[in-house]
């Protein structure tokens, strides 16, 4: 163990695992531990979490509300890119990690700490995301990842250590069936019956959204107003980024929207199966794509579309604070300059259906699209257009 580590900043949730980690680091590294508990909209009561950290041995416990920063500087830029990992996953967990890492590094600087620590396991993506973000922001800071370091080999080892050191165990009833991660964008579920990809997820995997079967029998229409690619008003009411997402989560959750069950490819080379709930994010994603239909030029859109895979890899793999993600963001934000307008969306039984869209920058012109005559489009032009398009195919049959 490095002698140089005198103070560590730990990402602390208040749960059993990070409590054990807190104590384990203090004992193993013989150092001071400062904790950070961030409110990212996980809808957990954070009252008392600082007291718990201090009781478990922390020298200082930060509890911070980062919801607006999370929505504005992380989720919204990512949604402007229409980011989707492997065609389906809206990256709810991935996008939270760089923000937490950023605050860990900032607090390390304020506190004069030499290392940061997290509770992510050695087989997952989150360890990579935390550590790459931290390396980018301050390569001199050391990383402590207890799951890769200690000798605990089972849950029982953990609970034994907890009992030994007076860390309160969760009551049996509250024990989670799944390994979960929740924030204002989504909730993820792994483990349990999901480990067999042939099993249908059980009812315990619903938290943010009702099962579609239980959603109302009456559709609900909303109007979502966008400015430069970001949603800014709902049904005429201006909302901050975090308030917007919260409101859309309520709507989406009520209508059973945004549920996903998939096997995905982790960055560390493993396939894993997860269930995701992204109610508000799904509404945002679909409405945004729809508004682009009238606001975005064809080639800008296709160019951007061809880069979604790459951008999503950046987010998923933990390269948020990375020059390639930033370069892509410049391109994407340039395409969003005129993505301003309103989408009318019908929500019903898991369906998000854009039924109307309008924009002061609309490039749609009804007179051009109909097959009637108009002032701009000369149908005879099409003959020349087609002939020159086809010229290079003359040798096709060779």
Taking the complex as a whole, how short is the minimal distance between the CB of residue 60 and its own copies, in angstroms?
Answer: 26
Find the distance separating the first CA and the last CA of the chain, reported in whole Å.
69
Annotated ligand binding at 94? The verdict is yes
Cβ pair 18, 45 in contact under 8 A: no
Cβ pair 71, 241 in contact under 8 A: yes
Q: Report DSSP letters for 304-361, one per residue.
A: HHHHHHHHHHHHHHT-SSSHHHHHHHHHHHHHTTT--EEEEEEEETTEEEEEEEE-TT
Tokens encoding 236: 């005429």
Taking the complex as a whole, how short is the minimal distance between the CB of residue 323 and its own copies, in angstroms?
Answer: 4
Annotated ligand binding at 17? The verdict is yes
90: three-class secondary structure by DSSP: coil
Member of 35, 103, 213, 339 binding its own copies (CB under 8 A): 213
Query: Does residue 153 belong to the site contacting its own copies (CB under 8 A)?
Result: yes
Annotated ligand binding at 276? The verdict is yes
- The rounded distance, in Å, linking the Cα atoms of 109 and 87 is 39
Tokens encoding 305: 């579309």
Cα distances (Å, whole numbers) of residue 213 to 36, 216, 250, 348, 372: 39, 8, 17, 11, 45
Provide the annotated active-site residues. Answer: 17, 97, 126, 179
CA angle 74, 266, 205 (to 5 degrees): 75
- The rounded distance, in Å, linking the Cα atoms of 304 and 275 is 27
Member of 136, 248, 251, 315 binding its own copies (CB under 8 A): 136
Cβ pair 101, 248 in contact under 8 A: no
Query: Does residue 131 belong to the site contacting its own copies (CB under 8 A)?
Result: yes
Annotated ligand binding at 129? The verdict is yes
Site for its own copies in 360-389 (CB under 8 A): 361-366, 368-373, 376-389
Taking the least distance from each CB to its own copies, the nearer of 227 and 327 is: 327
Site for its own copies in 302-361 (CB under 8 A): 302-306, 309-310, 313, 317-319, 321-324, 326-328, 330-335, 338, 344, 346, 348-351, 353-358, 361
Annotated ligand binding at 264? The verdict is yes
Contacting range for its own copies; rule: CB under 8 A; set: 20-28, 181-189, 197-205, 226-234: 197-205
Member of 34, 145, 234, 247 binding its own copies (CB under 8 A): 145
Contacting range for its own copies; rule: CB under 8 A; set: 30-38, 47-55, 138-146, 242-250: 138-146
Annotated ligand binding at 163? The verdict is no
Taking the complex as a whole, how short is the minimal distance between the CB of residue 75 and its own copies, in angstroms?
Answer: 19
Taking the complex as a whole, how short is the minimal distance between the CB of residue 117 and its own copies, in angstroms?
Answer: 13
Tokens encoding 308: 């979604």
Annotated ligand binding at 4? The verdict is no
DSSP 151: -
Site for its own copies in 273-292 (CB under 8 A): 273, 289-290
Taking the complex as a whole, how short is the minimal distance between the CB of residue 257 and its own copies, in angstroms?
Answer: 10
What residue numbers does the annotated binding site cover? Answer: 11-19, 38, 89, 94, 119, 121, 125-126, 129, 179, 188, 264, 276
């Amino acid at each position: 163990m490095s002698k140089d580590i005198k103070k560590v900043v730990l990402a602390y949730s208040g749960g059993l695992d990070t409590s054990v980690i807190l104590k384990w680091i203090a004992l193993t590294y013989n150092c001071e531990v400062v904790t950070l508990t961030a409110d990212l909209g996980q809808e957990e009561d954070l009252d008392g979490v600082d007291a718990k950290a201090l009781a478990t041995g922390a020298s200082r416990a930060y509890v911070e509300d980062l919801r607006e920063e999370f929505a504005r500087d992380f989720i919204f830029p990512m949604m402007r890119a229409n980011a989707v990992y492997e065609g389906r996953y809206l990256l709810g967990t991935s996008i939270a990690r760089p923000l937490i890492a950023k605050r860990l590094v900032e607090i390390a600087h304020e506190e004069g700490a030499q290392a940061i620590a997290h509770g992510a396991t050695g087989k997952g993506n989150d360890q990579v995301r935390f550590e790459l973000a931290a390396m980018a922001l301050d390569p001199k800071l050391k990383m402590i990842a207890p799951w890769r370091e200690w000798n605990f080999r089972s849950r029982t080892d953990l609970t034994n250590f907890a009992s030994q050191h007076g860390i309160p165990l969760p009551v049996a009833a509250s024990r989670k069936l799944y390994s979960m991660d929740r924030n204002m964008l989504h909730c993820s579920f792994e483990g349990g019956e999901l480990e067999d990809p042939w099993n249908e997820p059980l009812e315990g995997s619903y938290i943010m959204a009702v099962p579609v079967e239980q959603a109302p029998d009456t559709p609900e229409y909303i109007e979502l107003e966008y400015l430069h690619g970001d949603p800014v008003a709902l049904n005429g009411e201006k909302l901050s980024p975090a308030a917007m997402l919260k409101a859309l989560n309520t709507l989406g959750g009520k209508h059973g929207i945004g549920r996903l069950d998939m096997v995905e490819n982790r960055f560390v080379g493993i396939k894993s199966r997860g269930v995701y709930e992204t109610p508000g994010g799904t509404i945002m994603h679909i409405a945004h794509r729809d508004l682009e239909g009238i606001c975005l030029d064809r080639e800008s859109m296709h160019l951007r579309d061809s880069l979604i895979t790459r951008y999503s890899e950046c987010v998923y793999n933990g390269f948020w604070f990375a020059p390639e993600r930033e370069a892509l963001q410049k391109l994407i934000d340039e395409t969003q300059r005129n993505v301003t307008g309103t989408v009318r969306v019908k929500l019903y039984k898991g369906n998000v259906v854009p039924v109307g869209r309008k924009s002061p920058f609309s490039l749609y012109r009804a007179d051009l699209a109909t097959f009637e005559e108009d002032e701009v489009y000369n149908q005879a032009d099409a003959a020349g257009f087609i002939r020159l398009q086809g010229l290079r195919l003359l040798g096709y049959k060779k």
